[in-house]
Structure 1
Amino acid sequence: MFKKIMSLYEDSVLFSEKPLHISNQFHLFYDQSENQWLAIPKSKLTEKEFNLLQVLYQQVNIPSKPFGKWYEFLMVDGPLPTSSTDSNFRIIQFHIKGNVEQDEIESALNGFFSNEVQYIWEDSQNGCVIEEKRQISLSESELASISDTLESDFYVKISFYIGKLFPLSNQLPNQYRQEKEYFQFAKSHLSGSNTFTFEKVFPPFVAANLPNHIKEKLYKDFLEVFLDDPELYVTIKVFLESNLNASMTAKKLYIHRNTLQYRLDKFIDKTGVQLKDFYGAFTVFLACLLFQHDN
């Protein structure tokens, strides 16, 4: 229910853990059945709406503290945090599974990032790093290595969503909220990776949000084949994710290339779709993502 309420009030923030602090510009409500907290800007609520929410949910009072300019800008429509409007920024979100002090995480991350980056914490497990374009140096593979290093050092799991470069403007908070939605989807539905990007998340995000009548067409043409032969599904998905490279696919699956070719031919015979055609590969990959999401 909180997600529906959140859609009604711009700049609302949903927490999966009780936040340690919150701006005094928000009302915070707790849904015991979902174990979630929703912060709604006071300016967005009428007195009648506020009273109704108090009846439906528990209002939580948390000590406020002074927040940085970036927090105010991204979370509560504050003013631009810097005068460098000719520069671009990217926001790298992170999620931590486990207990660790915020200062320890920041200190560890500073060993990889520039000391000039900005940190924002939403709660004890979720935050982000804000980088200016001239400071950017870490690639996706390097962030994956950082995740592995922090896991071994602190015995916690940390995942990253690497945002795109955006110019500093009043549109940046909305772009950040959209990337938060992608990261939330990735944490809930995608496994096997500790780093995510728009390119990785958006295709399965689209597949999960297809209208039912489109899903039914894909089920009819492909998904029954995957249900009858799960091994064939894995083979096709790895083949597509390996850029249609047979040698790489066979190596990943620990099978002979002849075995791989047999499975590919079997899929083509069953579906009538050619995999080495761009449009065929795209359609089948979409079906693979939908099958993965629903199963």
Structure 2
Amino acid sequence: MLKKLVSLYENSILFSKRPNQPSEQFYYFFSEAENEWIGIPKTDVSEKELRLLTALYSLESFQVPRTSTTEKAWYDFLFSHAPVPPTHTETFIRLIQFHINGNDVNQGEIESALKGFFTDNCLIIWENGSRGMVIEEKKQITLSEEELIAMSETLASDFYVKISFFVGKLHHLSDQLRAKFLLEKEYFSFAMTKLTNPAIFTFERVFPAYLAHHLPDELNKRGSQEIVAVFHDDPELFSTIKVFLENNLNASMTAKKLYIHRNTLQYRIDKFTEKTGIGLKDFYGAFTVFFACLLFENQQEG
């Protein structure tokens, strides 16, 4: 029964044992019949739903560690329309969102590990049991995208969880930051559900797929029909071309990722160009074909 609740509350967390890192932002319910716990964000539960859940399960109470005043101010600003947290004037902020896919996530251990990679002054705010963000000021930013990928791999190895990041843009700290964060949060949620999950997402990587997904049906049908038809006839050609474009037209890297010889890769690229008349080394050609790849993926999902 608790597993059905997870499908109803997408931000909920299922526990096989009593949570050892509870959050004050969650309600925790225990099912005696299943000997499992579930945590559901308080913001996702209406008063009527809370009464119903309490009638069905035991509402557990925890001694939750107090968050710092600064962390609470940031949480309230981002999620509860509170005022901008007090800070220095002309401050620029980068929000790096993260999502952890794993069972019984130990927030304390994950947080300690994250702070070991970032600067000591960064803030870590938890949205729920598996999702949160690292808040950095411009002067604190030290990690490159490659270093973030390495960090993700290290965390996956150490904690047996899969962690993905969305690296936000550098924004001026103002009332508008909340809206910009919520938009980046929407892009991240889209990427986690619709895209294959790399370690790192950015606006540049997500937005083309986001745009293709939300394209009106009429434009979707018109968009690159001939290219999409080629992909329908030859799905292997589609996967080859998409990986080639995603790897910046690097033949060696593409062949390595596809486990094929470079000659085989070149044969497939030539075959695609012959069928479509589009050269991939031209920017406009590559852009059009990549967008067609995204449209083809949407059609496959549909």
Q: How many Å separate the matches in 1 of 2:123 and 2:266?
A: 50
User: What residue is the counterpart of 2:108 in the other structure?
Assistant: 103
Conserved 8 A contact 1:95-1:126: yes
User: What residue is the counterpart of 1:166 in the other structure?
Assistant: 171
How far off is 1:15 after superposition? 5.3
**Runs of 4 or more above 4 Å deviation:** 35-38, 57-67
TM-score relative to the length of structure 2: 0.76
Q: Structure 2: state its 5+ residue gaps.
A: 1-8, 14-21, 27-38
How far off is 1:252 after superposition? 3.4
Q: Give the partner amino acid of 1:128.
A: M
2:188 paired with 1:183 = yes
User: What residue is the counterpart of 1:215 in the other structure?
Assistant: 220
User: What residue is the counterpart of 1:39 in the other structure?
Assistant: 43
State percent identity of aligned pairs.
53
Deviations 1:90-117 (A, max 9, x none): 0011111122221111111111111211
How far off is 1:54 after superposition? 6.6
How far off is 1:185 after superposition? 0.6
Conserved 8 A contact 2:224-2:288: no
2:72 paired with 1:68 = yes
Q: How many Å separate the matches in 1 of 2:257 and 2:161?
A: 28
User: What residue is the counterpart of 1:17 in the other structure?
Assistant: 12
Bigger shift: 172-181 or 134-143?
134-143
Q: How many Å separate the matches in 2 of 1:246 and 1:122?
A: 41
The 3 A distance-change label for structure 1 pair 96 and 85 is: same
Q: How many Å separate the matches in 1 of 2:222 and 2:143?
A: 41
User: What residue is the counterpart of 1:86 in the other structure?
Assistant: 90
The 3 A distance-change label for structure 1 pair 58 and 270 is: farther
Deviations 1:162-198 (A, max 9, x none): 1110010110000000000000011001114111111
Conserved 8 A contact 1:222-1:271: yes
Q: How many Å separate the matches in 1 of 2:199 and 2:249?
A: 24
Q: How many residues align?
A: 259
Q: 1:281 aligns with which of 277, 286, 292?
A: 286
* Cα-Cα RMSD: 2.8
User: What residue is the counterpart of 1:231 in the other structure?
Assistant: 236
The 3 A distance-change label for structure 1 pair 100 and 252 is: closer
The 3 A distance-change label for structure 1 pair 156 and 244 is: closer
Conserved 8 A contact 1:20-1:123: yes
TM-score relative to the length of structure 1: 0.78
